[in-house]
Chain A
Amino acid sequence: NAGVTQTPKFQVLKTGQSMTLQCAQDMNHEYMSWYRQDPGMGLRLIHYSVGAGITDQGEVPNGYNVSRSTTEDFPLRLLSAAPSQTSVYFCASSRQGGVWEKLFFGSGTQLSVL
């Protein structure tokens, strides 16, 4: 059972470039989310989805877009990368939207924006 799979593991971008971070889960979870992790700070929620076709903003949504066309996939798009978006990004999913304690995390994408 793969769980939550994130790709790529590492990525380097130039300022202004766009890219998509992929996230897929094979647990049939309704809830999926994206977090960023920065040194000295806790995980901060970027966007989340409680089901296919439904997305909402988290704490730090600016500069990011998401879509949820299927239950399995929840890609995160950087529209025009900025150095402030250098971070480690984690995708997480759970069985129900409110069952936060059952969050399963992917292994992360380390992004550097030059």
Chain B
Amino acid sequence: GQQLNQSPQSMFIQEGEDVSMNCTSSSIFNTWLWYKQDPGEGPVLLIALYKAGELTSNGRLTAQFGITRKDSFLNISASIPSDVGIYFCAGREGTGTASKLTFGTGTRLQVTL
């Protein structure tokens, strides 16, 4: 099955730094989603994007739906230790019950003091 290419795979940053990660696909998606997974827990939805070019924020997090509909970007500003975790993108093809959700391979974020 198709997978989304997510980069970087992992990153170490210092507290206070800004973070950028992206997700690319060979397919066009109707919806882009960004999830965060804390250690030992399931993914939790951060941001949902529905239109090409859309820019949506959730606190210090900002995500964008790429114009081509084949990519998406997530930025975290002024990182803090609790930002540690794995960030997954997911893209939805099709509509209704026939739609398919594909997850990216994840970006592991570690924040040092």
A-side interface residues toward B, CB under 8 Å? 4, 35, 40-45, 50, 59-60, 90, 92, 97-98, 100-103, 105-108
Contact = CB atoms under 8 A, between A and B. Distances in A.
Interface string B28-42: 000101000000111
Interface residues of B, number: 27
A90 B103 contact: no
A41 B31 contact: no
Given A41-B105, A45-B101, 9 more contacts: A35-B103, A42-B4, A43-B90, A92-B42, A100-B92, A103-B101, A105-B42, A108-B40, A108-B42
Contact of A98 (B44, B90, B95, B105): B95
Given A4-B42, A100-B31, A43 B103 contact: yes
Contacts of A59: 1
Given A42-B4, A42-B88, A101-B48, A106 B105 contact: no
A107 B43 contact: no
B105 A40 contact: yes
B99 A101 contact: no
B99 A98 contact: yes
Given A105-B42, A106-B42, A108-B40, A42 B105 contact: yes
B96 interface: yes
A106 B31 CA distance: 22
Nearest to A33: B101
A100 B40 contact: no
Contact of B96 (A60, A98, A107): A98
Contacts of A41: 3, 105
Contacts of B6: 42
B31 A43 contact: no
A101 B42 contact: no
A64 B93 CA distance: 25
